[in-house]
Amino acid sequence: MSYLEEYNNSIENPTDFWAKQAENIDWYKKPETILSKDDQGNYRWYSGGTLNTCHLALDYHVENGRGDQVALYYDSPVTNTKKQYTYTQLRNEVAKVAGALADMGVVKGDTVVIYMPMIPEAAMAMLACARLGAIHSVVFGGFAPAELAIRIDDAKPKVLISATCGVEVKKIIDYKPLLDRAIELSRHKPSKVLIYERPEQSCEMIEGRDIDWKTAVSQAAPADCVPVAATDPLYILYTSGTTGTPKGVLRDNGGHAVALKYSMKSLYNCDPGDVYWAASDIGWVVGHSYIVYAPLLAGCSTVFFEGKPIMTPDAGAFWRVMEEYKVNVFFTAPTAFRAIKKEDPEAKLMKNYDLSSLRAIFQAGERLDPPTYHWLKSISGLPVIDHWWQTETGWAIVGNMTGLDSLPCKVGSSSLPIPGYNVQVVDEEGEEVPPNTSGNIVIKLPLPPGTLPTLWNDDKRFKESYLSEFPGYFSTSDGGYIDEDGYVFIMGRTDDVINVAGHRLSTGEMEELIGAHEAVAECAVVGIEDSLKGQIPVGFVILKNGVTITEEALQAELALLIRQEIGAIGCFKIALVVDRLPKTRSGKILRKTIRKITDEGDAPVPSTIDDPDSLSEIKNALAKRKIGKAFQD
């Protein structure tokens, strides 16, 4: 079937289309209803069906002759470690970890927070939770204690799983003090903390609470898979909200399994036995969907990489991994290749490796800028495929369906909507706009399987955040346009969340922290374009009267504050002192106007502005420090 036939079928007959895709899943009990609504009025897929995601990812393949195939390659240049696990070996390890969790009292429906680096045990912890029917919530290992505490209080885990440390290129991050401080800060206290001790770092264990991973797992009996309802939660993944309070995106078991298995063939054109590598981290949605779950659901081999695109040891790190494990399909964020390009602009290191196994390179997490696309295309000679999706959707909204058709590429576009997603562009009143007209990108309800049915314990916020602005549609909070051929062009966020190297971060949260500094009267944080990271935050700060502090000193203090409270991923390094900020007459800071000035050098004066001369403050501050594209030499 061609892409167009498949897409039209999915939009015109969604129930029949997704019933057919569900036949590719090994259900314990097949669904009674393909599409329905729950008591809160939210769409739900595959009600009445029962399954187990860990069974589908591991046991099913062992039972069907793939037990000796490698399921997971672990490659850690930062520790000089390599391991591999067959499907049988990984199934057996996961069953023992699940047994250890069961011994700690974890049962179906409980929550477990996972705060771990990129080691195989992190994947085992996720799959072990799925095996028991417990709900996991992975928190990125680089987050500060305050951020972890917020998530502990929201998820209320029975058990917290961690490791003694994370290993970076030039340093070891001691996790135990961070998680101890997070538990101290949190109101909810996990009953047990399971700690995996890495060779690089030991830790002090708290008697009665902390349990050694290796001891507990060695003493545990393997646990069987627990059947769960298709609509039961598989995981919670927190994503930044505009208020600074993270939103717990909920993923169910049934729709998730069907959608991800469908995507592996139709979008990425992967078959069982192929090697698939997503160079990301399990703290983000890409790690959930395309490092752990989708490749295993599809019977592929997945690569678990603990390293960087550069400095491990050089800008040839990715090419080395591709050759060594004969990677067929590769997926990472454009920021990774921008870093490689900066270090090795002529891709001389790539020529040292045999990349004959590689069929395609996929990009997502941020807009694939044309210079990066052209560079990557020219050095590899391979299809370079941009695709667009979000934490909320869990898999691609727009992309080139390489398993169906090889569609022409349009540079700057993520291509065409994925089957199941009725993507439209509307104006502020919710009316569809003509082709090539910029507006708000929305998805007509219902969303396809695999997307969030709601937020964790917050249905009201789910509707307010995503469904209320444009009734009948899911608001993506992204802006852009669709051209005359149906190609979708994503141009950036329409809310106050910025995208730093593929990581969504809240400017509102940064503003709260900066505003608490004793010298600061008021501030605004916006994301500006950055050639390496896509966006970086810049703070515009008004000082309190009578305060004497240099801009350099204030900038250093604020950067340290953001690093301590949010983490190094915040990448906050620039603070500009101004006398006033552009505001509406009602007092709302005109952040979009500030962003436009920063990226383009000027902006139309909004009709709602209170003081037009305030725009000059922004321009002068940027010009003085040569910040932003328009103010650089």
Answer whether residue 595 shows pLDDT above 90. Answer: no
pLDDT of residue 631: 73
Give mean pLDDT, residues 230-250. 86
CA–CA dist 365, 336 (Å, integer): 11
pLDDT, tens only, 348-370:
999 999 999 999 999 998 778 78
Higher pLDDT, 531 or 86: 86
Cα 8 from chain centroid?
A: 28
pLDDT, tens only, 524-566:
898 888 878 888 899 999 888 788 899 999 999 999 999 888 8
The answer to which of 29-38, 90-99, 154-163, 165-174 has the lowest mean pLDDT is 165-174
Contact call for residues 158 and 104 (beta carbons, < 8 A):
yes
Assigned CATH topology for domain 499-631: GMP Synthetase; Chain A, domain 3 (3.30.300)
The pTM of this model reads 0.86
Answer whether residue 103 shows pLDDT above 90. Answer: yes
CA–CA dist 443, 448 (Å, integer): 10
Encoded amino acid at 7, one letter: Y
Which residue in the block uniquely carries the two structure tokens 């299809």? 383
CA–CA dist 307, 309 (Å, integer): 7
Higher pLDDT, 198 or 143: 198
Answer whether residue 28 shows pLDDT above 70. Answer: yes
DSSP result, 159-204: EEEEESEEE-SS-EEEHHHHHHHHHHH-SS--SEEEEEPBTTB--P
pLDDT of residue 515: 84
pLDDT of residue 608: 61
The answer to which of 95-109, 116-130, 165-179, 602-616 has the lowest mean pLDDT is 602-616
Contact call for residues 627 and 598 (beta carbons, < 8 A):
yes
pLDDT of residue 130: 99
The answer to which of 31-45, 459-473, 566-580 has the lowest mean pLDDT is 566-580
DSSP annotation of 629: G
CA–CA dist 626, 558 (Å, integer): 20
CATH fit for domain 3-410+424-467, picks 3.40.50.12780, 3.30.43.10, 1.20.1270.10, 3.10.310.30: 3.40.50.12780
pLDDT, tens only, 470-511:
999 999 998 889 999 999 998 767 666 677 777 767 677 788
Answer whether residue 445 shows pLDDT above 80. Answer: yes
Delimit the domains of the chain by residue range: 3-410+424-467, 499-631
Answer whether residue 617 shows pLDDT above 70. Answer: yes
CA-CA-CA-CA torsion sign (253, 129, 273, 64): negative
Length in residues, the chain: 633
CA–CA dist 324, 329 (Å, integer): 14
ω before 582 within 30° of 0 (cis)?
no
Q: What is the mean pLDDT of the chain?
A: 92
State how beta strands 33-37 and 43-47 pair.
antiparallel
Residue 396: count of CB within 10 angstroms of its CB = 28
Answer whether residue 53 shows pLDDT above 90. Answer: yes
- Which residues lie closer than 8 Å to 360 by C-beta, 6 or more apart? 268, 269, 329, 330, 382, 383, 384, 385, 402
pLDDT of residue 191: 97
In the structure encoding, which two tokens stand for residue 202, read together?
Answer: 């030991």
3-410+424-467 and 499-631 share one CATH topology?
no
pLDDT of residue 588: 67
pLDDT of residue 109: 98
Higher pLDDT, 166 or 407: 166
Contact call for residues 290 and 280 (beta carbons, < 8 A):
yes
